[in-house]
Copies of this chain bind each other. A is one copy, B any other.
């Protein structure tokens, strides 16, 4: 049990003036009681957190990561996309092993937790190694294996088998530890055959898990699909039934036609907007204000550290809250509450979580901020500061009812050892 006393409860981004000092009780993995500050009867044996001069918010949920790539941070920047991929990223990925994956995942989990992220939606390989790391950290995640067949039939067979094995591992892991969740991850329309995409869809539906896919990131890939099929990517996948009856998290959605937007809306697809990756790689700027106007579900992601180069979701929040205003020369588009909802409750819906808000009965995935931080002062407009000013350095993080960060220090890992292992892994990778 954890009792948090006298803390500013940031549970209303639309009407921040209604946020007030409260007491909160956490039992097992749930928020079981929220009341006015001073009103909570503290149960015997509860761990007490004094919330004076602190605020509590729903933990952030990052809907697009490749977490082992945290080891790739800074390895290659400012290059043309194909040079970057072909001469830097892919050759390094060919050298990955379980140890490097584990080291990158531990470093990534640490960075996310220290910047207020409690859960992430990942696509990569070596899933068992990722599971092992995330379990030890006590972080929530939805993991998918990146399916790629490049329209080769033999490769498709082996990918389908791998996918089944990975889903098995994930479901076993979930039964042991509910923090680990499964998704199916066909990489993208330009790297998957129609058969593989349909197979992935059927598997997601059968196992009742979301699909995680890259969509419409660059103009080039759209052109490629159009040449091959006569359709734009969303149109093509929709014609295959890939979006039917499942939750789909579509990463990027930078270049989307009016007709594709209708599909996004009709099929209730969740966009994972990755503003900083899209900028850094020169992919472009997703039409988020138009998505919002059309009531399309938008969530936020950082993408992997090869293309951002960090996992601080507060940076993506600020990027999303500012970029579209600049591009449209309209300071009223993408409001504070909209962007904070993207990073919390919209993402929770996308991944079928029971979090993203602070309410009785919801998972205790919570983040506590020390209000004695220059970027949060004056303390009167904290909700605005979360979007525009806060540097992301959080004080305490609770995931599934367990304190994983306390006073800025990880409780579930030896930080120095994680740094050391990361350095070792990097050297193994580049040498």
Contacts and interface: CB of A to CB of B under 8 A. Distances in A.
| Most chain B CB within a 10 A radius of its CB, from A81, A278, A378 | A378
Interface string A30-67: 00000000000000000000000000000000000000
A77 to B, nearest CB: 5
A330 B71 contact: no
A279 B73 contact: no
A191 interface: no
A77 B321 CA distance: 10
A392 B389 contact: no
- Chain A at the B interface: SS class: helix
A137 interface: no
Nearest to A337: B78
Interface stretch (A207-215, A280-288, A360-368): A280-288
A329 B281 CA distance: 8
Given A80-B332, A279-B323, A378-B422, 16 more contacts: A74-B378, A77-B388, A111-B375, A279-B325, A282-B325, A282-B329, A282-B332, A305-B389, A309-B384, A310-B375, A323-B323, A372-B415, A374-B419, A377-B423, A378-B426, A379-B423
9 contacts: A73-B378, A73-B384, A78-B334, A80-B332, A114-B374, A282-B331, A308-B389, A310-B388, A380-B426
A206 interface: no
B388 A279 contact: no
A281 B331 contact: yes
B374 A81 contact: no
B380 A74 contact: yes
A282 B79 CA distance: 29
Contacts of A279: 322-323, 325-326
Given A284-B326, A327-B285, A379-B423, A78 B335 contact: yes
Contact of A377 (B77, B278, B281, B419): B419
A199 to B, nearest CB: 33
A252 to B, nearest CB: 12
A312 interface: yes
A401 to B, nearest CB: 24
A84 interface: yes
Interface in A66-117: 71, 73-75, 77-81, 84, 107, 110-111, 114-115
A369 to B, nearest CB: 14
Given A309-B389, A393-B391, A73 B110 contact: no
B71 A285 contact: no
B331 A377 contact: no
A416 B310 CA distance: 31
Contact of A385 (B73, B107, B336): B73
Interface residues of A, number: 71
Given A332-B78, A377-B423, A416 B322 contact: no
A381 interface: yes
A318 interface: yes
A328 interface: yes
Contacts of A309: 384-385, 388-389
Given A75-B381, A426-B380, A107 B374 contact: yes
A276 interface: yes
A329 B388 contact: no
A391 B392 contact: yes
9 smallest beta-carbon distances between A and B, as pairs: A74-B381, A279-B326, A282-B331, A74-B384, A378-B426, A279-B322, A111-B374, A309-B388, A310-B389
A178 interface: no
A366 B219 CA distance: 43
